[in-house]
Amino acid sequence: TKSIRAAMRVIAEEHNGKVPDTMEKLRELPGVGRKTANVVLGNAFNKNEGIVVDTHVTRLSQRLGLTKQKDAEKIERDLMKLVPREHWTDWSHWLIWHGRRRCYARKPDCSRCEVFQLCPSGKVFLRTGQAQKRD
């Protein structure tokens, strides 16, 4: 909450109460990193400046074979090369939803996975008992 209050203070004092609409200005706010700036730009301003990379996006990107990276900015760069820019915000939402509802860190629900046929990890998880069984 300290960072939120500090960011609100800066927005009020330096931006006339308006949330900045550029990556550079957002990242200058206390507590705002690239992930938060991407969320704000994509959702509040409909600007696709990057792909949100959180724990879910990291996990799914690796499981789907879209990246071998572990660093969020490197993962984001890899994904930005694969996904058309106009879909970056939606792609972020889909991966986060999928990570929360299907592709859990432990025991992913491969039985209900919408992209099971495309996922190189799903078949391995099922074969080794690391995933919930398919129906």
Q: Domains along the chain?
A: 1-49 (1.10.340.30)
Q: Is the pLDDT at 132 greater than 90, yes or no?
A: no
Q: Is the pLDDT at 70 greater than 70, yes or no?
A: yes
Q: Which residues are catalytic?
A: 35, 54
What are the φ and ψ backbone dihedral angles of 4, each rounded to 5 degrees? -65, -45
State the Cα–Cα distance between residues 10 and 93, nearest whole angstrom.
28
pLDDT of residue 135: 61
Average pLDDT over residues 98-104: 96
